[in-house]
Amino acid sequence: MKKIVLILILLVPILLSAQTKVAVYVTATESVPKETKKIIGSEVVAAFVATKEYNAIERTVEFLSEISKEQDYQRGGNVDDSQICELGRQFGVDLVCVTDITKFQEKFYVQARLIDVEKAIVLATAREIAQLEDLDAIMKLASSLAQSLINADVTYVLKVENTQTVPLEIFVNNEVVGQVPPKSTRTFDMPISKIGKIEAKPTKGLFKKTMENTINKMKAQDTVSFAF
């Protein structure tokens, strides 16, 4: 478990009133300079923070001390995804961004995957190959890698039942999602960052009363249902 404490940084996205915690774990082969590994880890964090939906929490001595108490992880070698998920669950992490760095001859192969720790499934992957001759090249690679994960379709399912006799226009945080025909049900794939107030507005009728509810914190591939 010695390697897991090298770079394990918690990020806390501010998703309205909810918080989704994401850990960034970076591992590398022995031929990869420590400075390169550290810079890539820091830049992945910075790319997430730049979305304005994340607030970085730097690792602390206390946090690393808590990890070291986990006797099940005091072993050599790399930890696998199941161990990472278990560690994430222990510390209340929702997602883990695992970044692996390998040097082959003069090039660096960097692969990242975003894992849902509760379901133990990979939600998105990304990779970059470059020579990394200087600091700018390292930062550019890390930023591009993170952006690929950030832009991936990590979604939950919004299920809306229309009990009315007129079509309903569905809004989440004042942004239109789509329409649901009368007396029917429709599902929408929604980004996990898009939560909060949900509104159903009749498109016809003399008295168009808007109906409201709230979408709370969601995890990838979960389903939330509403009837209006």
Q: What is the pLDDT of residues 28-80, one digit of tens each?
A: 888 999 899 889 988 887 777 676 555 444 443 343 344 445 534 444 445 57
> How far, in Å, CA of 110 to CA of 126, rounded?
8
What kind and span of H or E run contains 128?
A: strand 121-130
**Strands 168-172, 196-202: parallel, antiparallel or unpaired by DSSP?**
antiparallel
Of 19, 46, 24, whose CA–CA distance to 193 is shortest? 19
User: pLDDT of 19-28, one tens digit each?
Assistant: 467 777 888 8
Which pTM does this prediction carry? Answer: 0.62
CB 11 within 8 A of CB 24: yes
User: pLDDT of 141-192, one tens digit each?
Assistant: 988 888 888 777 678 899 999 999 999 999 999 999 999 999 999 999 888 7
Residue 98 has pLDDT above 70, yes or no: yes
Q: Which domains does the chain have, with CATH numbers?
A: 2-150 (3.40.50), 155-227 (2.60.40)
What kind and span of H or E run contains 71?
A: none
